[in-house]
Structure 1
Amino acid sequence: MTEKPSPSATKLLFHTQENNLTAVTEFFLLGFQVSQGLRHFLFCIFLVIYCGTICGNLLIITLVSTSKNLHTPMYFFISQLSISDILLTIDLVPNMLHILLNNGGTITFLGCFTQFCFFGAMEGSECLLLTVMSYDRYVAICNPLHYASIMTSSSCVILTAMCWLFSFSIVLIETISTAKLIFCGPNTIDHLFCDMVPLIELACSDTSFIHLEIYLIGIPIILIPTAIIVVSYTYIVLAILRIPSISGRQKAFSTCSSHLIVVSLFYWTMFSVYVVPTKGQTVTMSKVLSLLYTVLTPLVNPIIYSLRNKDIRKAVHKIVYQRVI
């Protein structure tokens, strides 16, 4: 018979294995495994998008802060959305550019989870800000007489602060829980950045608690704001349809059309990655879809608000005219 190990020996063996399993100190991000010429082409595209995103969103923030005509709740929320887009871009794109140039790149354990934390917080804050903006449009169109008393400066600041604090708090909990998992190798992440799903797939320990957290915390964060947005715009559409004149309906719809386009783009890409089943979806397709809401959306948002908003266009023309004169 084989002699059964003593409890102390078993405990020592467990700690030795646990120490060996936590030896992963860095991860390797594969990025796009394509030819060198295509990687250089993508590098140039990403660099242009990065510069355009930073400049476009900085323009929105500058216009809202300096133009008196834009000192309204709607434009305040738009400027907060631009701040979120800038922080998201700074968090992800520079490392993507490094990965493209070097056909992959390493990121430290701490750096990976820091990137994931900021990425999740920015996506969460954008989700909540879009929800608050839909409520703002609901009050403006469905309850215009009480708009000034409801959407005061203090209430806008409080709503924005709640969006930022809530998103950071929730993502920080998920980040700490994921970082406590045991990573025993391999440490290669077949993705463009550190995201929840590829990190969980590398874990050697039980991830059932993380999946439970996602279902109890992560999914409601997406579904509840979605429901609020849908209900808000249902009431908005019904209110617009009750306006007797065609010009009145067009004017009312123009005030929320830009936001509706941004919401549709953001949620379509988010749902395609995280909510719709990914069975049969290739890794490359998953990376491309991830680029839509992490790289493309922050670039498109200021363009949509600039092109479809008369007040912002007037503010831009005023600044350009003053510079020329």
Structure 2
Amino acid sequence: MGRRPVGVRDVAARAGVSRQTVSRVLNEHPEVAAETRERVIAAMAELGYRVNNAARALGTRRSRTLGVLASDALQYGPSRSLAAIEARARGAGYWVSAAFADAGDAGAVVAAVQHLVSQGVEGIVVVAPHVQTMDALDALQIGVPIVTLHASGRGARGLSVDQAAGARLAVAALADAGHTRIAHLAGPADWLEAESRAEGYARELAARGMPSGPVIVGDWSAASGHAAAATVRELGVTAVFSANDQMALGLITGLREAGLDVPGDVSVVGFDDVPDAEHYWPPLTTVRQDFDELARRAVAAVIGEAAAPRDPVRPVLRARSSIAPPRDESDAAAC
């Protein structure tokens, strides 16, 4: 027969205090003498006592747990955000409980949220929401604080890196190098981030008095970027803004296989600044997102810190070696 788990009664007996005193220590009640608190903590350590968050939540309405709802967790942005949220939550004294749902299935999104709420989470962070995810959340009465990441500013509860501003940085870098025929390799249409990056691309071209360039839709994968290389060659553009680094990697490989040099024939800029971007060949110029800062703001907002900032996080251009002036400058200027 297994050994009975250590409980509050055992800790109270070892420390020579009442069970109520142990509960007060667990709940960080201020009216406990320092010497008594230290004796209770020492007894917990000696006995190997572990806090039962579910039971604690019933008595205190505090589980010290945050919920995270995610989809597409294998993509760089969502996975990096999950890791950053967990680290920030732990630093603030919270655990994280994660639920994953198909973003295209409103029922799955609702069920995942309800599951997190049933676990007694004190707030929920939604990572990389799609349009359908946001629609499902808007119809819910959740009862706990909720913050959405990467929603590109949609709704008062949204936090994000300024995706449109990042896209404009990318297009500006290409235009400043002399390019006037700039294509956009876009992400999937149901992603709010992809939509905002496409809007930023169009705005920067318009602000410079340049015609809107061709848009090629990918699916975030390097394979879709590789497939887009043939279209880029047919279009005769001299530069491409890729909505993420993985598609940029595939595009560069495809262009090379088609006999085109990057950046000699076609310049390429990505988005995200994945850890490998500086080791691509050529090293990729890209837009960096500060996921750690975004996670800090998300955790602060969901646990109710009054000073939690809500303004978009500014992206930064990482200039490397994948941009060069167009080879035929007179032809580029004439278009």
TM-score normalized with structure 2 length = 0.22
Radius of gyration: which is bigger?
2
Q: Which has the higher contact order (CA 8 A, sep 6+)?
A: 1
More strand by share: 2
More helix by share: 1
